[in-house]
Structure 1
Amino acid sequence: MNKDDFKKNAHDLIDWMADYYFDDVKSLPVRSQVKPGAVRAQIPTAAPMEAEGFQSLFDDFRDIVIPGMTHWQHPRFFAYFPANVSPPSVLAEMLTSIMGANAMLWETSPAATELEEAMMNWLKDMMALPTEWSGVIQDTASSAAFCAVLAARERATDWRVNESGLQASDKLAFYTSAEAHSSVEKAVKMAGLGKSSIRLVPTDDDFAMKPSALISMIEDDRKNGTTPTMLVATVGTTGVGASDPLEPLGLIARSNSMYFHVDAAWAGSAMVCPEYRYLMRGIELADSYAFNPHKWMGVNFDCTAHFVKDADTLKRTLTILPEYLKTREGNSVTDYRDWGIQLGRRMRALKLWFVIRSYGVEGLQAMFRNHIEMTEELAEKIFMTEGFELVTKPNLSLLTFRKVEGNAEESDQATEALLTKINDDGFTYLTRTVVNGRPVIRFQIGQINTSSDDVMTTWERIVALS
C-alpha cells in the first residue's frame, strides 16, 4: 500500500466510521444476533498466499465482522458499564496508531511520558483528589488491582517474596466484599496467594461493606497467626452500584497497617461533579485508587487512571533494571515501565488530553448529570408500572428491576425469561445480576449519545415484551 492508496483507503474508512457512529449504528441490533460459529465459518481456514486488495478486506469487514459485533456505541446499549468512545478520542487514537511509539521510558518518547504526567495531574484537580498523589495510566482497572495486590504483598513481607518467593511469606489475608469486582480475586490468585487468603466482608442493606464485620474478621485472623495485609473497597460496584464507606474502612486499614486500595472503575468518572464526591469521603486514606476514563468519560478503551500515595512502594515492587533499559537521565525523569506489569506501553495520554479539552470539565459534568437524571426518571417509571418491581434504587446511573408474577419463584423465572426475550429482540441490550439470592435485570445509562427518548422507548419495548 503506497501513500496514495493509504490516503484513499483512510478517507473511505473515515467516511464509514462517521456514518456508523453518528447514524448507522442506531439501526443495528444492539447485541449481535449471530449464532456461535457463524463468523468463523465465513473465514478461510488458511491465510492467503497472495496479497489481497484493501477493498476486499473492507468488504469482508462490513459483511462478516459487523453482523457479529455487539454495538457498544449504540444509544440503547444499557448493559454492563459503557465502554464509550468519542470523536476526539478516536482521532487521538489514529494519531497514536500512526506514530506507533513504545512509551516504556521517558527517552523512548518524552512527550508521551510528560503528557501522561500532566493528564494525571489534570484528573487530580478535576476530581479534588489528594494533590500529593502520583499517577500512571494503566490498561485496565484489573491491572491496577494486580499492581496494588503485589505492592501490598511486598510491603507486608518487607519485600521478601520478591527476593525469595512465596515460601518466605507469612499467611496473608486480603479483605473485600462479595460485591467487589472479580479482578480482586484474580489479582490475589495471580500473586500466588490463593483464593483461601481472600476474606469476603459482609455488607449492609445497601450492599456496602460493614466496618464492624471487617474489624471482627481482622481480629480472628490475628488470633490465627494470619497477617491482615490489604483492604479493597469499591465505589460503584458492578452489580448494583453500591459504594463502601471509605472513611471508616480507611481508618481500620491504617490502624492495622494494611494496604488500602479503592476501585471506582465506573463511578470514578462522576467525581468530576462536586455533588457526588460524598461517595469519596475518606479517599485521602487510600494507598492507591483507580478509575476508568474508558468507561463513562468517553475515552477509548483502554485507559485506567491509577493513583498511588507512595510511588516508591509501587516502583520498588515492580522495577527490574537490566543494562539495556538504563538511560543517562536515570532517576531525574519518570520511566513508567516501573509503574505497571508491562514493559512495552501504548501512548494512552493523548486521547485523554483530546477528550478533556474537547468537552471541557463543564461538558463532562453535564453528560454525567444528564445520565443520572435519566436514570432517576426511569426509576419513577418502573415504580409506577404494574407487574414490575424496582429492586435497587438508582446509584448514580445504575438501577435494577424484576418482573413480578405470582410468587417469588415464578417472578424469578419470569425475570430470566424476560431478559432472554429482551436481548434476543435486539432493540436494546441488558444484563443480569443477583440481589439477595434472586435474579434481577440491570439497567445502566452511560452511552454518550443516549437520549431520554432512547431510555423511554426502551422501557416501552420491555413492557411490551413482558
Structure 2
Amino acid sequence: MNELLLTDDERAHAGARLVALLDSYERGLAEADILPVPDRAQLAGLLAPMPDKGIGLDALFDRWEDVVLPGSTTVAHPRFLAYVLGPPNGVAPYAEALAAAINQNCNFWQLSPAASVVERSVLEWLASVVGFPAGAKGILTGGGSLATLQALATALHDRVPDFHASGLQRDHAPLVVYTSVEAHRSVDKAAAILGVGLDNVRHIATDDRHRMDVSALRRAVEQDRRNGLRPWCVVATCGTVSTGSVDPLDAIADLCSDEDLWLHVDGAYGALFLLSEGMRELMGGCARADSITLDPHKLLYAPLEAGCLLVRDGAKLRDAYAFDSSYLTVAEDPLMTDYMDYGPQLSRSFKAFKVWSAVQAFGVEAFRSANERTLELAQRFGRGVQEAEGLRLLAPVVLTAVCFSVDGVEDHASLLEELAAENVALLGPVVVGGERGVRACFTNHRTSVGDVDLILERLRGRVAFQARGFAPDPAN
C-alpha cells in the first residue's frame, strides 16, 4: 500500500465531500460575510506543529470547512469591489483539479506536450485580441508585476548590446525609463530589481484626465538626452489602478517611434476590455506596443495566478531568455514550444489550462458580455454618485473604477469600515489629485444592478445622517 495515495473508497468519499463543499460555498456566497472577522484563536491553531501521523481525510475536510473557509475573504461576493480582482469563473475549480492531477511541468514540450499546445493556443488568441502580428510570442506568468518585470528585462536585452554577457556592469551612461505618476508600482519595482535604479525612473505628470502628458514626456526625454543619459523605455498604462485612466497610447507610440524607445503597455487592468469592439478607439494603440502585460486572472476571471506577457517580435523574447542545456535538449517540433526559453522559470505550472478551459466552456462572447456588464455597472454607479447630493466624483469613469468622496466625511477609512462591517460592500481607499476618497471597482462578474443600487442607497443614507450631524446607525 502506498501511504501517499487514497484507496478507491477514500477517493470516492473525497470526491463527494469536495463536490458538496464547492456546492455549499457557491450557494452561500450572496449571504456570506465579505470580510469575515478572523477567529484568531482558530487561525493560530493552524500554526501547531505538523502531525507525525496524519489526521485523516474527514478531519482534513472538517478543518477546511471550520477554519480555512471562515477565515478567508469572500472575493466572490457580488459586492467585493475593493480591488481589480474578480471572482473565478464557474469551471475554474474543475480545471484546477485536473491540472493538479496531471501536474505538467510546462518548461520543455516533452514533459508537457498537450500543455505546450494549450498555452500556445491561449497566447495566440490573446495576441489577436490585442492586435499583435503573427510573429508575436508570449508566456503566462504569475501576474502582471512579473510580466512587467520580464518585459523590461526583454527590452534591456534588446536595447543594450551584449547585455547577456556584461549586463549593466559597464562604463556607459545610465538608462532611463519613463512612466506616469499614476503607473503601477511594479514599474518602479522592476527598475529596482533589474539594476536600472529608481533614480532613473521618470514619473511623468498627467493631464486633467489622469493620463500621461505626452508633451511632458517629450520634454523629459529631450532633457535626459541633453544631460548625457540614455532614454530607453516608456511604460504606458491601459487602465491605471486608481482611476482606470488610459494613457494616450497612439501619441506615446508615435513618440517612441520618433525617439527609438521600447514601448511597454501595462494592460493588466484594462487591456482585455479590447474583447469589446467599442473599446478599440480608446485602447487600439495597444497594438503598437513592443510588449504588453495582460492579466487573465482579472478580466478572464481565472483563479490566481494567471498573468501574461506578449512581445510583438517573438524572437526578442526568446533571445532574452533562451540558454543551452544539454540535459534538457529535445527535438524541435513546429507544433510545440519550449516555454523555458521564453521566461526565467524552468519549473512552471499549467496556468494556461484554467484560461483555455473557461474560454472553451463558455466561449469568448460570454467573457465579452461579462466585461461589458461591469462597464455598464460602473457607469450606473458613477451616474448615481453624480446625481446624489453630498457625493462627488473625483475622476471621470473611464473603465470600471469609480472614485468619489462623501461631503462632510473627513475620515473615509471609517466609512469603509462601516460598509464592510454592515456587509454592504467592501470598497477601497483612493487618493486622486491629493484628495482622499473611496474607490469602487466593478471587476466582478457576479455584481448586479441591485448590488449597485444597494450601495448607493446606503451612501445616500450616510450623507443624510451626516447632514443632520449624526453618524448612521447600522441597525437601521
Aligned equivalents of 1:331, 1:123: Cα separation in 2: 20
Q: Pick the aligned partner of 1:458 from 444, 455, 458.
A: 455
In the alignment, structure 1 residue 27 sits paired with structure 2 residue 27: no
Aligned equivalents of 1:208, 1:280: Cα separation in 2: 13
Moved more, 6-15 or 226-235: 6-15
Q: Pick the aligned partner of 2:11 from 2, 6, 15.
A: 6
In the alignment, structure 1 residue 93 sits paired with structure 2 residue 90: no
1:462 positional shift: 3.5
1:194-343 maps to which residues of 2 (within 5 A)? 194-329=197-332, 333-343=336-346
Aligned equivalents of 1:33, 1:439: Cα separation in 2: 26
Pairs aligned (count): 457
Q: Pick the aligned partner of 2:22 from 17, 24, 43.
A: 17
Moved more, 425-434 or 235-244: 425-434
Offset from partner CA, 1:136-158 (integer Å, 9 cap, x none): 22221111111111122222321
1:427 positional shift: 2.9
Partner of 2:115: 112
SS of match in other structure, 2:208: coil
Aligned equivalents of 1:460, 1:109: Cα separation in 2: 52
Aligned equivalents of 2:94, 2:245: Cα separation in 1: 34
Aligned equivalents of 2:136, 2:319: Cα separation in 1: 17
Partner of 2:3: none
In the alignment, structure 1 residue 448 sits paired with structure 2 residue 451: no
- AA in 1 matched with 2:363: G
- AA in 2 matched with 1:416: A
Offset from partner CA, 1:353-400 (integer Å, 9 cap, x none): 221122222222221121211211111211122221122232222211
1:447 positional shift: 1.4
Aligned equivalents of 1:295, 1:368: Cα separation in 2: 10
CA contact 1:32–1:67 (8 Å) conserved in 2:
yes
Change (3 A) 1:126 1:316: closer
What is the TM-score with the length of structure 1 in the denominator?
0.93
Aligned equivalents of 1:306, 1:44: Cα separation in 2: 37
- AA in 1 matched with 2:445: I
In the alignment, structure 1 residue 403 sits paired with structure 2 residue 400: no
- AA in 1 matched with 2:165: E
Aligned equivalents of 1:31, 1:277: Cα separation in 2: 36
Change (3 A) 1:393 1:121: same
Partner of 2:70: 67
Aligned equivalents of 1:281, 1:47: Cα separation in 2: 53
Moved more, 71-80 or 145-154: 145-154
1:330 positional shift: 7.5
- AA in 2 matched with 1:56: A
Percent identity of paired positions between Structure 1 and Structure 2: 29
Aligned equivalents of 1:200, 1:369: Cα separation in 2: 31
Offset from partner CA, 1:410-452 (integer Å, 9 cap, x none): x4x2433312322333331111111011111111112122111
CA contact 1:254–1:285 (8 Å) conserved in 2:
no
1:126 positional shift: 4.2
- AA in 2 matched with 1:171: P
Change (3 A) 1:3 1:464: farther
Offset from partner CA, 1:47-80 (integer Å, 9 cap, x none): 1121211111111222222222111111111111
Partner of 1:408: none
Change (3 A) 1:314 1:288: same
1:236 positional shift: 0.6
CA contact 1:292–1:303 (8 Å) conserved in 2:
yes
In the alignment, structure 1 residue 359 sits paired with structure 2 residue 356: no
Q: Pick the aligned partner of 1:434 from 431, 434, 447.
A: 431
Offset from partner CA, 1:177-198 (integer Å, 9 cap, x none): 1111111111111102211110
SS of match in other structure, 1:433: strand
Partner of 1:138: 141
1:383-422 maps to which residues of 2 (within 5 A)? 383-405=386-408, 411=409, 413-422=410-419
- AA in 1 matched with 2:294: F
Change (3 A) 1:313 1:6: same
Aligned equivalents of 2:158, 2:273: Cα separation in 1: 32
CA contact 1:422–1:465 (8 Å) conserved in 2:
no
1:124 positional shift: 3.2
Unaligned runs of 5+ in 2: 1-5, 464-476
CA contact 1:292–1:304 (8 Å) conserved in 2:
yes
Partner of 1:78: 81
1:243 positional shift: 0.5
In the alignment, structure 1 residue 380 sits paired with structure 2 residue 377: no
Change (3 A) 1:223 1:98: same
CA contact 1:421–1:465 (8 Å) conserved in 2:
no
Q: Pick the aligned partner of 2:168 from 158, 166, 172.
A: 166
Aligned equivalents of 1:346, 1:159: Cα separation in 2: 31
Moved more, 281-290 or 245-254: 281-290
1:17 positional shift: 0.8
